[in-house]
Structure 1
Amino acid sequence: MAHFISQQTFDDAVRENIEEFGLEPQDALKETINQFEAQGVDLSSIVKELSLGPSKADEIKAAIEKLKELNKIDTPDKVLMDQMDVIRIECDKGLTNKVAVAKAGAYDVLLDVLDTKRSYIVVERICLKTLTSLMTKQPDLLDSRGIQSMFRFLNPKVDFDLKKLTLRWIKECCVMHEMNRQNIFNARVLDNLKDLLKDSNPEIIREVMSVFRALILDDDVRVEFGNAHEHARIIASEFLCYLTLLMKKYQTDESFIHDLILTVTALMVRNEFCKKVKDAGGIQMLLSIMENFKNNERVNRQCFKLIKSLAGNDDCKVYLIQVGLAPVYTTALEQNKNNVNTAIAGLNAIAALALRSPENSKALFEANMHTVMVEIMKLYPDEKQVQKSASRAIRNMVSRSRYQNDSFVELGVEELLQKNLKKFPDIEYDTKAALRDLGCNVHLKEEWTGKGGALTTGAVMS
């Protein structure tokens, strides 16, 4: 199990390597990292950079103190904003600078500005930008007072920029911080986000969706168990149908549709949610979106991922093909196969659609999907994940539809798979499964054999 240390412990160790052992700063940093990693310490949340020098630290502290004093007196807005810009620019230089600014007390001073300058919209905008810059990759600073400040701006009647900036601040505070997510969620943020979703401006809706996605992250290594699934369940139960209906309203807006499908896919954590999307007309809209954005690999990649999730529900898996997905899907994958991540997503969805479904496999085969699959394998011979996903898709296509075997073999798939056995030994299982179901020559290992002895139990037989 990984161990964790504080930033102070890490910085002290670097300093000791410089002062006690005479190492140069960069060498001391490298040696400290090696020492802790050898001890099994997780350094993912540690700033692995040299601390700022005393003079720079004093300069930052002076800037914070100046802002603190300016906030106490009747200061022209521009003077206050200029001082916050100085702090924000310092934060934008890097994580080390953010840490130094935080140590100087910037967080509390910025919240004081928000409290003092209520209704001074131009000042509040700059203050929110500065807070976001300060807390990006440094969300530990957030406390209950900060959450209260956030909620002040989550109101449809609040200035547009203030709402947008606050949503971005919330999102950054949720990244890699489970307790922030739980505290914000438990403060009933969904009630506020529900009101903001009624906003007709797509920019606000996109920011709300980014908050949804941040609330269901599971990326904090310091927490053994998070609430990502429960958050996703609650958000999906309340908002999934509404989000699905937005597909029709914004079906020609590329950026919006990309974020919308990304969000819907992230919320599909339970089987019954697939049916919610189907019942709301999401599958028909998905086909329309794929036709509208035939050559857009970003949008199609997200569509493929959503299809894979939907195919986890047996009724949706059948319905996807019934409404004519197969030819649309084949065209989309063919036209976007030159992006490796899109190709992988496409192959994964084929595997899900064809799994234990000979009817789906037949439809995909008749749409010439097998040709596209083999083309992708030939296009990325050295990409292990492509070959693994393709092997699974082939196995599921032919396992209950052996009449397809000859067509796959004629395209040269057997030679590709045999090469993969030597090239990628760690995906041997998937490769051999594809070869086996294609009827090709393959040596299968017996994973376990009994010793042939009689089994004994504590029971007495009479």
Structure 2
Amino acid sequence: MVRVISQETFDAAVLENVVEFDMTLEEAIREAESEFSAMDVRTDVVKNLTLSEDKKRIVHAVVKALEEIRSELELLSSGSKLQEHLATVRAQCKLSVAHRILANQHNGYDTLLSLMKKVQDDPELLEQTLRAMVALTETNPDILTPEGTELMLQLINDWKSRTNEPAVAEYLARWSTECCLKHEDNRQNMVAAGSLESLTALLQAQKSCSKVVRAASKALRAFTLDDDIRQEFSKAHEHARLLVEDHDLITVCLEILKDYLNESDTASELLSTVSKLCVRAEYCQLAVDKGALVVINDVLVSFPDHAVLNKQAMFLLKNMVGNDKVKVEAMQTGAPLLIIAALDKHQTVPGLCEAGISALSMLALRVPAHAKSLVQTGAADAIIQAMKIHTKEKQLQKLGCMAIRNMVARVPENQQPFLEIGAENLIKQAIEIHGQSMKDVAQAALRDLGADVKLQEQWKGTGHEIHR
């Protein structure tokens, strides 16, 4: 069992080294670390310490800043140093999880929440308070309370239409995102409180500000995640359904996207959000009806140099063509040629290659005519080239094997083109590099290619009698 120490214990050890052994602070910290390490005790605590003037007490910058904020809460005068103290809290909380835990142990969350209530009509102070709250909540979402959720939604509703102060809206959306990441209970509680409606309204009201659009898109997308290992079940699919059916988010995102095709970062966020919402066949069809295929082709044609934007466009296409009707429409628009061109241009970018191979694989799935057409178009060369360049990328190698299977399983004449460009040796090399974790999918690809493969029979069903 791993042993850890508290911040108080570490501080006491450092202070003892300074007082009893006349060490400098830096020497005392190093000595304390060494002592605990020798005892096999982890020291995941704050180590950027200072001493009080009388050298009798350890001082933490984040704790001192929070004390100053509490002392000035009643004054809020123009000459106060609140912004300076908030900047200190934010900077310290960004350093590590230990700093954030220490801040919360000294009522950091409650202090910032109280301050937020007092300055909610002061855009400058509210922005600084929200920045500090976002830093405090990062990878620390357990601190959110019902009171915090209520205040967050109240502020979103109050500030969503104030387009002259977009920074407040941006950091409200960021706060929402941090509260949702890896915390299923927070997501469900916030949905019940009305977060989806408020954030969708914020996205629409602030659509002229790219920073708010990006932040609000991330915040809404966070509700569709299933990333909390503490929970056995998630409502990610239900949240996606609510966003599509109750708040028409697919339409909202695609409409806003038309104004941001020249901004790759913003367009990528919007495409990623739409992609997360395409979880049912009817939602995929809705996205197509609202012009998603046209937008994807526009991105791939007009912005061939934007690797991130191209990647998100291809991931969206991959999700949408899970609907067989959409798959046919995508083939008719010429999307495969654009994907192959993007793979050729950005063949050194593993993330884009994964997106492109996934899209080609889904286009070929269960449709022999598509598989034949894709190989004739040059999909085989694009897939094999990406696998050759990124031999150490396990996920890409797996996706490549699945794409090969989808293109040859129902179309035997596609086997030869793959074999001629070295698919068999490449797949065998992937097994050697990545081992057992990709053996099954790789051997299945070799089998479908008609290559020599030895499949191990795990169980023959003999050797034991059935007892009644």
Q: The TM-score by the shorter chain falls in which range?
A: 0.7 to 0.9
Matches within 5 A, 1:361-376: 361-376=371-386
Residue equivalent to 1:192: 198
Residue equivalent to 1:28: 36
Residue equivalent to 1:269: 279
1:175 corresponds to which of 172, 181, 200: 181
1:11 corresponds to which of 2, 5, 12: 5
Residue equivalent to 1:318: 328
1:157 corresponds to which of 161, 164, 171: 161
Residue equivalent to 2:447: 436
Residue equivalent to 1:49: 45
Residue equivalent to 1:387: 397
Q: What is the deviation of 1:263? A: 1.0
Asked if 1 retains the 8 angstrom alpha-carbon contact of 2:161 and 2:202, the reply is no
Once residues 30 and 373 of structure 1 are traced to their aligned partners in structure 2, the CA distance between those partners, rounded to angstroms, is: 52
The superposition leaves residues 299-328 of structure 1 with CA deviations (integer Å, 9 ceiling, x where unpaired) of 122222222211211111222112211211
Q: Would the alpha carbon gap of residues 232 and 449 (structure 1) be closer, same or farther in structure 2, given more than 3 Å must change? A: same
The superposition leaves residues 173-192 of structure 1 with CA deviations (integer Å, 9 ceiling, x where unpaired) of 22222222222211101222
One-letter identity of the residue aligned with 2:75: I
Residue equivalent to 2:147: 145
Scaled by the length of structure 2, what TM-score is found? 0.84
Q: Secondary structure at the match of 1:364?
A: helix
Q: What is the deviation of 1:15? A: 4.9
Matches within 5 A, 1:247-266: 247-266=257-276
Matches within 5 A, 1:313-352: 313-352=323-362
Once residues 279 and 31 of structure 1 are traced to their aligned partners in structure 2, the CA distance between those partners, rounded to angstroms, is: 64
Once residues 306 and 67 of structure 1 are traced to their aligned partners in structure 2, the CA distance between those partners, rounded to angstroms, is: 46
| Aligned residues: CA RMSD | 3.0
2:456 corresponds to which of 445, 456, 460: 445
One-letter identity of the residue aligned with 1:441: D
Asked if 2 retains the 8 angstrom alpha-carbon contact of 1:391 and 1:431, the reply is yes
Residue equivalent to 1:79: 81
Gaps of 5+ in 1: 35-46
Q: What is the deviation of 1:347? A: 1.7
Once residues 50 and 30 of structure 1 are traced to their aligned partners in structure 2, the CA distance between those partners, rounded to angstroms, is: 19
Q: What is the deviation of 1:412? A: 2.0
Once residues 392 and 118 of structure 2 are traced to their aligned partners in structure 1, the CA distance between those partners, rounded to angstroms, is: 60
The superposition leaves residues 131-153 of structure 1 with CA deviations (integer Å, 9 ceiling, x where unpaired) of 11222222222212222221232
Once residues 103 and 439 of structure 2 are traced to their aligned partners in structure 1, the CA distance between those partners, rounded to angstroms, is: 52
Asked if 2 retains the 8 angstrom alpha-carbon contact of 1:29 and 1:48, the reply is no
Residue equivalent to 1:204: 212
1:306 correspondence with 2:307: no
Q: Would the alpha carbon gap of residues 31 and 304 (structure 1) be closer, same or farther in structure 2, given more than 3 Å must change? A: farther
One-letter identity of the residue aligned with 2:313: C
1:124 corresponds to which of 123, 126, 134: 126
Q: What is the deviation of 1:339? A: 0.9
2:238 corresponds to which of 210, 230, 238: 230
Residue equivalent to 2:113: 111
Gaps of 5+ in 2: 14-30, 52-56
Matches within 5 A, 1:289-304: 289-304=299-314
Asked if 2 retains the 8 angstrom alpha-carbon contact of 1:70 and 1:80, the reply is yes
1:67 corresponds to which of 59, 69, 78: 69
Q: What is the deviation of 1:24? A: 5.0
Q: What is the deviation of 1:52? A: 6.9
Q: What is the deviation of 1:56? A: 4.1
One-letter identity of the residue aligned with 1:351: S
